């Protein structure tokens, strides 16, 4: 076990010798090797996986379209399951931690999982599911969600996972768009001690869609509406199925899954991911970034309803043949330190979460986690939004005890896997900086005219050819949107991320924020992310959101919403926050108003919904709030603004 603190040089941290020795990768030579010939590099990695037939050409570019491992044939489940049976038959693939503390956890070995997946695959076939058909999956974080995804992949059906806390309307849109004929759901699930009747939502959600059959997992035992010949209990369907189903032969470029994500228009778009490239990227990013070795226990907190759950709570760790934890509940229920209890219970070695969760943990106060040594932890991960310096330091010191590298991983639903981060055995790690591009990737930071910017200058983050094997291949049934969103800003050979970023003199990248959040104050360009980072320096502020609102003189001015852990006079907080911004950025960025609020509206993945805050000032329709984690926060903020 690694007991020494990371090595600090200036504001950079490096892994210790001892840590490096154990790490899968520990020399920066890998970056040079990959850069020499990225396509060859990815080919070399791809060869480590099992292909039914080898590809003919590694990369084919026909802008804005591209292909990886052209002509290759594979089935991702052979790599996740069959291949692991050779040496890891009885190794635990994953442990499921239920929400109710009185209920027993469940362990699935690779062999168990293999059999369950094959049985369901056979059952799906009997229900008429064929290669290329879309299957809706509307399940909470229970083992069956993983089994369902893999069973689809086994037979070449395309899974469309819909986050279980999304409304029936959100489900309906996705089922309509994909014309799914089958839906897999459960009777209910637990959330903060309550039973949520998921089947009821599913029943509503399939209205007007082509869903002819619903498979229902019995999870909570609540009463459900039942439609004969349409609804089937999971356990009865799989009971008599054989535990082997031949894996479908998938072309490298055949679609593996579609996952919906929010677009600029507010209408969700179906991001299309394919089989071969995604597999290669999921495997190597999981293995190398989380340094997954034989005895590691990996816990990613994200729900499978999000891309993080797809890649790092299912495919990635299974491909890497590791043991991982999935958790049904909320990290702060029934006690605020539930997450810490889980880390201790299973001896988690790598913990992956989002800045929003880190700040929430911090908000509960230092006393709460004082009793935890966290001495099994080796690596900490962060994802989803820029992590501010204050949260980074808290995470590094209080959870990682200054021993654990923080891999701040930048990626998107569209990229399918992590693309930018520091590697744990190489480093360096720097608060609020995500790191450098994963070996084999070429990023640049461009100004509006497309000129590459030097260190210190902020611009648009773009990905250059040959891109990444796991980058999206399309927006489902919407090629125009694909072209416009990703391949228009700088022509059709440059992938536009919608993020702004800059590099420091070491080449480490700091993500500033989405271009959609840019505010222009009196002609000066500032971003909400920058302001929030400044506000976060204030010791009492745990979370903040800044939006631009119309101002007659300056065009736009920032307005800040802050959550404070100290109960002080609002006026004082406002003054101090402004002082902080003045100090960090300058007087041009001062917000017009600082609202002290109890909570900020967030998506279930923890992203703060600035769009909603902005609309509170423009009087526009707020839209569907049901996709928020905390819709009630909006009402409270409205009242505060009205005051
Ligand atoms: C956007 C993508 C893919 C994981 C979940 C988010 C922001 C993501 C980081 C990071 C700064 C980050 C970007 C990106 N983002 N990770 N480590 N540092 N920003 O996926 O919902 O598709 O969002 O999240 O703005 O464009 P997503």
CATH number for the domain spanning 185: value is: 3.40.50.12780
pTM (2 decimals)?
A: 0.85
CB of 532 sitting under 6 A from ligand 1: no
519, 510 in Cβ contact below 8 A? no
The helix/strand count (H/E) of the chain reads as 22, 34
Domain's final residue, options 236, 258, 285: 285
CB of 352 sitting under 6 A from ligand 1: no
- How many structural domains compose the chain? 2
Residue 518 pLDDT greater than 80, yes or no: no
What was the pLDDT predicted at 169?
76
Dig out the tokens for 55 from the structure. 């590809």
- Please give the residue range of the domain that contains residue 196: 37-285
Q: How much distance in Å is there from the Cα of 153 to the middle of ligand 1?
A: 26
In a domain, 480, yes or no: no
In a domain, 398, yes or no: no
What was the pLDDT predicted at 525?
46
Q: Is 1 exposed, middle or buried, given 0-12, 13-18 or 19+ CB atoms closer than 10 A?
A: exposed
Q: Rounded to an integer, what distance in angstroms lies between the CA atom of residue 338 and that of residue 100?
A: 11
Q: Rounded to an integer, what distance in angstroms lies between the CA atom of residue 599 and that of residue 597?
A: 6
What is the three-state SS of 120-174? Answer: HHHHHHHCCCCCCCEEEEECCCCHHHHHHHHHHHHHCCEEEECCCCCCHHHHHHH
Atom 12 (ligand 1) nearest CA = 385
In a domain, 11, yes or no: no
Domain's final residue, options 285, 315, 344: 285
Higher pLDDT, 354 or 407: 407
- Which atom of ligand 1 lies at the shortest distance from residue 409's CA? 17
Tell me the per-residue pLDDT of 581-627, one tens digit each, with 9 for 90 and over: 877 776 667 899 999 999 999 988 888 898 899 999 988 888 888 88
Domain's final residue, options 285, 301, 327: 285
Q: How much distance in Å is there from the Cα of 413 to the middle of ligand 1?
A: 8
In a domain, 461, yes or no: no
Q: Rounded to an integer, what distance in angstroms lies between the CA atom of residue 154 and that of residue 94?
A: 19
Q: How much distance in Å is there from the Cα of 516 to the middle of ligand 1?
A: 13
Tell me the per-residue pLDDT of 452-462, one tens digit each, with 9 for 90 and over: 999 999 999 99
CB of 413 sitting under 6 A from ligand 1: yes
Q: Using the 8-state DSSP alphabet, how is residue 4 labeled?
A: S
Tell me the per-residue pLDDT of 335-373, one tens digit each, with 9 for 90 and over: 999 999 999 999 999 999 988 889 889 888 878 899 999
In this structure, the number of other CB atoms found within 10 A of the CB of residue 364 comes to 15
Mean pLDDT taken over the chain: 93
β-strand pairing of 555-564 with 12-14: unpaired
Q: Which residues contact 331 (CB under 8 A, 6 or more apart)?
A: 301, 338, 339, 353, 357, 360, 361
Nearest partner of 488 among 515, 455, 454, 520, judged by Cα? 515
In a domain, 154, yes or no: yes
CB of 514 sitting under 6 A from ligand 1: yes
Dig out the tokens for 282 from the structure. 């999921």
CB of 410 sitting under 6 A from ligand 1: yes
Tell me the per-residue pLDDT of 139-156, one tens digit each, with 9 for 90 and over: 999 999 999 999 999 999
In a domain, 626, yes or no: yes
Nearest partner of 205 among 228, 177, 238, judged by Cα? 177
Residue 523 pLDDT greater than 70, yes or no: no
Give strand pairing partners of 353.
382
In a domain, 249, yes or no: yes
Q: Rounded to an integer, what distance in angstroms lies between the CA atom of residue 488 and that of residue 490?
A: 6
Give strand pairing partners of 410.
420
Question: Which of 271, 308, 356, 384 most suits a substitution to test ligand 1, by most atoms within 8 Å of the C-beta?
Answer: 384
In a domain, 138, yes or no: yes
Dig out the tokens for 294 from the structure. 């034989």
């Amino acid at each position: 076990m690694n007991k020494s603190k990371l090595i600090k040089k200036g504001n950079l941290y490096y892994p210790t010798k001892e840590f490096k020795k154990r790490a899968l990768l520990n020399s920066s030579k890998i970056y040079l090797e990959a850069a020499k010939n990225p396509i060859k590099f990815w080919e070399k990695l791809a060869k480590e996986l099992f292909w039914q037939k080898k590809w003919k050409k590694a990369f084919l570019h026909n802008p804005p379209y591209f292909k990886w491992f052209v002509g290759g044939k594979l089935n991702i489940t052979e790599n996740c399951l069959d291949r692991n049976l050779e040496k890891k038959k009885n190794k635990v693939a994953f442990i499921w931690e239920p929400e109710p503390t009185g209920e027993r956890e469940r362990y699935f070995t690779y062999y168990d999982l293999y059999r369950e997946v094959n049985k369901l695959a056979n059952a799906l076939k009997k229900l008429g599911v064929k290669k290329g058909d879309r299957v809706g999956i509307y399940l909470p974080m229970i083992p069956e969600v993983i089994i369902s995804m893999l069973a689809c992949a086994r037979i070449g059906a395309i899974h469309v996972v819909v986050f279980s806390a999304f409304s029936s309307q959100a489900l309906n849109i996705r089922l309509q768009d994909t014309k799914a004929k089958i839906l897999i759901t459960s009777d209910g699930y637990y959330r903060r001690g309550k039973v949520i009747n998921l089947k009821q939502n599913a029943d509503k959600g399939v209205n007007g869609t082509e869903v002819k059959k619903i498979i229902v997992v019995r999870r909570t035992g609540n009463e459900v509406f039942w439609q004969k010949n349409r609804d089937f209990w999971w356990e009865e369907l799989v009971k008599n199925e054989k535990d082997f189903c031949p894996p479908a032969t998938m072309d490298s470029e055949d679609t593996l899954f579609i996952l919906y994500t929010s677009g600029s228009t507010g209408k969700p778009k179906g991001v299309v991911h394919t089989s071969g490239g995604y597999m290669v990227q999921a495997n190597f990013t999981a293995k190398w970034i989380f340094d997954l070795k034989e005895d590691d226990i990996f816990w990613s907190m994200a729900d499978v309803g999000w891309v993080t759950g797809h890649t790092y709570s299912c495919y990635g760790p299974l491909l890497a043949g590791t043991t991982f934890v999935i958790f049904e509940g909320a990290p702060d229920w029934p006690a605020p330190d539930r997450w810490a209890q889980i880390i201790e219970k299973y001896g988690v070695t790598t913990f992956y979460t989002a800045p929003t969760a880190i700040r929430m943990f911090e908000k509960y106060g230092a006393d709460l986690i004082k009793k935890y040594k966290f001495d099994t932890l080796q690596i900490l991960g962060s994802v989803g939004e820029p992590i501010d310096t204050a949260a980074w330091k808290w995470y590094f010191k209080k959870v990682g005890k200054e021993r654990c590298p923080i891999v701040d991983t930048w990626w998107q639903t569209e990229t399918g896997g992590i693309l930018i981060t520091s590697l744990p055995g190489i480093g360096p790690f720097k608060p609020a900086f995500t790191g450098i591009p994963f070996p084999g990737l070429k990023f640049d930071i461009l100004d509006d005219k497309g000129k590459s910017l030097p260190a210190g200058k902020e611009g648009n983050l773009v990905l250059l050819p040959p891109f990444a094997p796991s980058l999206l291949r399309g927006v489902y049934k919407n090629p125009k949107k694909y072209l416009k969103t990703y391949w228009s800003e700088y022509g059709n050979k440059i992938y536009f991320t919608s993020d702004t970023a800059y590099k420091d003199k070491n080449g480490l990248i700091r993500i500033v924020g989405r271009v959609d959040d840019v505010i222009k104050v009196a002609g000066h360009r500032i971003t909400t992310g920058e302001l929030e980072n400044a506000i976060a320096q204030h010791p009492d502020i745990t979370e903040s959101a800044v939006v631009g609102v119309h101002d007659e003189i300056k065009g736009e001015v920032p307005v800040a919403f802050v959550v404070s852990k100290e109960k002080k006079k609002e006026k004082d907080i406002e003054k101090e926050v402004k002082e902080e911004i003045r100090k960090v950025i300058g007087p041009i960025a001062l917000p017009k108003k600082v609202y002290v609020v109890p909570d900020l509206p967030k998506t279930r993945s923890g992203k703060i919904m600035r769009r909603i805050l902005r609309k509170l000032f423009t009087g526009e329709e707020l839209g569907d709030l049901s996709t928020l984690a905390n819709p009630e926060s909006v009402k409270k903020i409205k009242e505060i603004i009205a005051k």
